[in-house]
Amino acid sequence: MMTDLIIIGAGLAGLSAAITAAKQGRVCRLISLQPSERAQSVMAEGGINGALNTMGEDDSPAEHFADTMRGGVFLADPNAVKNLTDHAPDVLRMLWGLGVPFNMRGDTPVLRNFGGQKKKRTAYAKSSTGKILMNALIDEARKYETRGLIRRYAHHEFVALLLSADGAQCLGAKIYDRYTATTAKLYGAVILCSGGMNSLFPGLTTGSAANTGDVTATVFAQGVRLANLEFIQYHPTTVAIPGKRCLLSEAARGEGGRLFTLRNGEKWFFMEEKYPELGNLMPRDVVSREMVLCANAAGCDGKVYLDMTALDETVWQQKLSDLREECMRLLAKDPKTAPIEVSPGIHYFMGGIDVDENHRTSVKNLFAAGECACQYHGANRLGGNSMLGAIFGGQVAAASACAAQLQENIPEQERETRYTSRFCRMADRRITEILDPALGIFRTAEQMQAALAQLNALGDDFSEADRWHLLLAKAFLLCALNRKESRGAHTRRDYPDRDDVSYQKTTVARFDGENIQISLWELPERRAD
């Protein structure tokens, strides 16, 4: 039975999936609360990785693979990553063909250095790469919208999955029109492209307030498996502004910005001293950890500064003009003339909906891609791999969904989810007060256990939807408690070492209707090339 595809979310992953399916002549229904121009993807700054090898450094997809696996501390699915890094140059060429104005030299995109990578392989459009890519994909999707292949459901919200009676199969999705206050049921394979889980940490993330994680919380409550929730990326260079954290792109360091702390009044460029090879461009987990450790070392005052004062005029004009403008406007500081105080802030969720290399979830005919999915990044994501993972993941998920075989006359699960007042952000704030301190850069069992106990005491006055957020918050803590080692973005003071024997595995969280079950699953074995 050939049915429409239902895509939840219209950011990079959702658009990429929709365009891929439409190119195959499949009709997709693209559900999003806001138009694509409002998606968090437009906030991505520094660039997108692909071993184009245009910088005379003898780069290759194999090296991109090696850097991604090492950056993720060997926790990513090697076959999925191989697929990603092999296809990355094609993704960049596709974008270039869509008229994306990457910074160029002649007819070739210039690539910049980015964290955790030894070669220049990050294509960029100044430091507004996400906005510029999205613009091109929105135009491309429009072509298929007018042909009736992409049907936009603007101002629609995801309510719940329609599942088979046994919960093992996805039959479609229930959606809600915010403008008319009506719900509808759509039938077909579903691809979730709903982004990260910022509402568990309101005001504390660099991302969009609209990327709430409501979809992830809902499908988790419905029995869909999640993975690796303990890996939360703290981006090293963020600054608190009213209502959120503002990101200073990794491009600042890629173009020569340096981190220092004052030790006994003297500038200490700790990253350069401790990591002579990559210096300020070590992977984000390493930089953030070192910032906390070094700024609190003897003689230091706890503060870290990003120094861009030595960057030359052409870099400011051609590569970072937008970043400078943002600093002046939001922080009232000119990075050209004085270092800026920065601290790590929550930027990305490596964990999320558990998918295999074909982006299939634990439920048949349900797929996920982009930040909502747990794929490609292991224990720590490299800068420049998120937009790549979203676009490529969207393509793979769409291919899988197009091939899905849907059976007819499957009895539908009777559990009715009503659309009530939905999620209340006040409940989120109560959750955050408990969750955030326990899931910082450094963690201990004691702190996480205490947080879990507090969360367990919460919820009596919560709506059903808010209880799903609470459930998700508990799953974060249980995943983190279960991993008794330090790896990537998960650093335990009580288990400071990496333990490959016991923990080079995926943490899997599943809600059985009563309890959250946590288990460790073996990683897929790498296939021979």
When the beta carbons of 83 and 237 are compared against another protein, the nearer one is 237
Q: Which of 51, 71, 83, 96 binds another protein (CB under 8 A)?
A: 96
Q: Which of 52, 246, 355, 391 binds another protein (CB under 8 A)?
A: 246
Chain centre to alpha carbon of residue 114:
17
Under 8 Å between Cβ of 426 and 195: no
Q: What would you report as the CA-atom Rg of the chain, rounded to the nearest whole angstrom?
A: 22
Q: Which of 8, 18, 22, 39 binds another protein (CB under 8 A)?
A: 39
User: Interface with another protein includes 293 (CB under 8 A)?
Assistant: no
User: Interface with another protein includes 151 (CB under 8 A)?
Assistant: no
Considering only residues 247 through 276, tell me which ones interact with another protein, judged by CB under 8 A. Answer: none
Query: Rounded distance, CA 216 to CA 212, Å?
Result: 9
Query: Rounded distance, CA 503 to CA 482, Å?
Result: 10
When the beta carbons of 144 and 220 are compared against another protein, the nearer one is 144
Tokens describing residue 158: 């995801």
* Selected range binding another protein among 264-272, 275-283, 297-305, 424-432, rule: CB under 8 A: 424-432
For the CB of residue 30, give the shortest distance to another protein in the complex, in Å.
Answer: 12
When the beta carbons of 102 and 392 are compared against another protein, the nearer one is 102
The CA-based angle 492-498-504, given to 5 degrees, is 110
User: Interface with another protein includes 453 (CB under 8 A)?
Assistant: no
For the CB of residue 293, give the shortest distance to another protein in the complex, in Å.
Answer: 29
- The residue behind tokens 């109560």 is 430
- Catalytic, 284? Answer yes
Under 8 Å between Cβ of 28 and 394: no
Considering only residues 68 through 87, tell me which ones interact with another protein, judged by CB under 8 A. Answer: none
**Interaction mask 100-129, another protein, x per CB under 8 A:** xxxxxxxx-----------------xx-x-
Separation in Å, CA 513 to CA 178, 213, 410, 422, 517: 29, 20, 22, 20, 10
Q: Is 6 left (phi over 0), alpha (psi -120 to 50) or beta?
A: beta
Residue 106: exposure state from Cβ atoms within 10 A (0-12, 13-18, ≥19)? exposed
When the beta carbons of 8 and 379 are compared against another protein, the nearer one is 8
Query: Rounded distance, CA 350 to CA 370, Å?
Result: 10
User: Interface with another protein includes 328 (CB under 8 A)?
Assistant: no
User: Interface with another protein includes 505 (CB under 8 A)?
Assistant: no
Contact positions vs another protein (CB under 8 A) = 34-35, 37-40, 42-43, 96-107, 125-126, 128, 131-132, 135-136, 139-140, 142-143, 145-146, 152, 154-155, 178-179, 208-210, 241-244, 246, 326, 330, 332, 425-426, 429
- Catalogue the active-site residues: 284
